[in-house]
Amino acid sequence: MPKASSTQPRKQLIAERHQHRWTQQEVADRIGADRTQVERWELGFTTPSPRFRSLLCELFGKSAEALGLFGEPAVQVGRARQMMPDAVGQ
């Protein structure tokens, strides 16, 4: 299944992780996140919260701009909740 065309992977974030030879799980463990969060940030599905943006910047020693952490995710959290089957009828 092809990805949505509006989704842009965050190549800078991925490149930094690869440069350090860390897995997504290792990055997650170092900043207190879940591996799936790191995956979604890298794929551009979601944007890290200010707290996690700060932790990622500190971890990699780069600015948020240099890591590609600014910009809109493909689906906003509120819209994603609306599209979830559980939200129907609430």
* Chain-centroid distance, C-alpha 73: 8
* Chain-centroid distance, C-alpha 13: 9
Is this structure's pTM higher than 0.85?
A: no
In the structure, what pLDDT confidence band is assigned to residue 2 with cuts at 50, 70 and 90? very low
- Residue 74: is its pLDDT beyond 60? no
In the structure, what pLDDT confidence band is assigned to residue 4 with cuts at 50, 70 and 90? very low
Please write the tens of the pLDDT for every residue from 11-70. Answer: 999 999 999 999 999 999 999 999 999 999 999 999 999 999 999 999 999 999 999 987
Give the Cα-Cα-Cα angle 13, 80, 27 (nearest 5 degrees). 25
In order of start, what are the domains of the chain with their CATH numbers? Answer: 11-87 (1.10.260.40)
Question: Which of 34, 54, 44, 52 has the alpha carbon at shortest distance from 76?
Answer: 44
- Residue 76: is its pLDDT beyond 60? no
